[in-house]
A = this chain, B = another copy of it.
Amino acid sequence: MPSKAPSVRPEEAASPQRPSRRARVSAHRPSPGKAAPRRPSRAPSVPVTDPTAAIGVFDSGVGGLTVLHAIAELLPHEHLIYLGDTARYPYGTKSADTVRRYALENTAFLADKGIKMLVVACNSAAAVALDALAERFAMPVVGVIEPGALQAVRQTRNGKVGVIGTDATIASGAYTRALKRLRPDLEVYTRACPLFVPLAEEGWVDNDVAHSTAALYLTSLRRSRIDTLVLGCTHYPLLKRVIGEVMGTAVTLVDSARTTAEAVRDTLERHGLARRRGGGSVSFFVTDVPDRFVKVGGRFMGQKVDSAVRIER
């Protein structure tokens, strides 16, 4: 007796009002003549050309650590700087406007650390902020949405793809646009699953509550006969087992962490920015006190996060 009927939004054929190519996996360059973003209001940044410089990664909190982990595995020579905006977490329940502002502030912080490229490891931020970041910052930017979409298009056999994510991500329509750009005849079914994030944070990934929640959110998606489901939020891979149980073995679950790491590698190569030798490193910054980040972080990073530096703003 759910008080809210689970509903799936089938997305129709490519909307004519969205002809422009938007967020791409590859580099974002500021377009001359475009209006300056509202905040932060600084002069456009100059791209860093030093391959030994770090890669900046940001997320609203701990979720992006799944992406960080994949990058660290694929690119062991790289220095990584991770920023978790834990004081303002989560982004997925907030408006596009607010998430865009937070993304600009996070990127300004990382740009100030001299990063050579940026990874937006938060689906909600990648869904609404890539254009604003490209206008304001000169560095190459990779988000998690295009890689996830690419992986889904490679995977599907029957051309029916589902996407689950936060309210912000699903409302943005970013996955649908990315998928249809790659393959216009796809049928795309989307569903916001807001409770998955707090479940993953609580560590309830395989109990009764997780099972009933997955059943409520996903039953109508399963009925739509998709063969591929994009886990459009970095928290969701932790719930893979219960999601898989509801969807059945015929549906492939797509987690964009690995594909995003590959997009990062390709982007570095294309810009001559890859670091080819020496040990890599990871440093962590958070906006709330680090305790909870360090505690919960291990669940996402697959290894111990033993310290993080707090920044205040």
Contacts and interface: CB of A to CB of B under 8 A. Distances in A.
Contacts of A313: 1-3, 38
A272 interface: no
A198 interface: yes
- Residue of A1, A40, A87, A212 most packed against chain B (CB within 10 A): A1
A109 B3 CA distance: 11
Contacts of A288: 94-95, 97-98
A206 interface: yes
B292 A93 contact: yes
Interface string A249-292: 00000000000000000000000000000000000000111011
A59 B207 CA distance: 32
A86 B88 CA distance: 10
A295 B292 CA distance: 31
Main secondary structure of the interface of A (DSSP, over half): loop
A207 B95 contact: no
Interface string A202-244: 1111111100110010000000000000000000000000000
Nearest to A289: B95
B289 A202 contact: no
A301 B194 CA distance: 22
Interface of A: 1-4, 27, 38-40, 86-89, 93-95, 97-98, 104-105, 108-109, 112, 194-195, 197-199, 201-209, 212-213, 216, 287-289, 291-292, 311, 313
The 8 A-B residue pairs with the shortest CB-CB distance in the complex, in nearest-first order: A2-B40, A95-B289, A198-B198, A2-B207, A208-B212, A209-B212, A98-B288, A87-B98
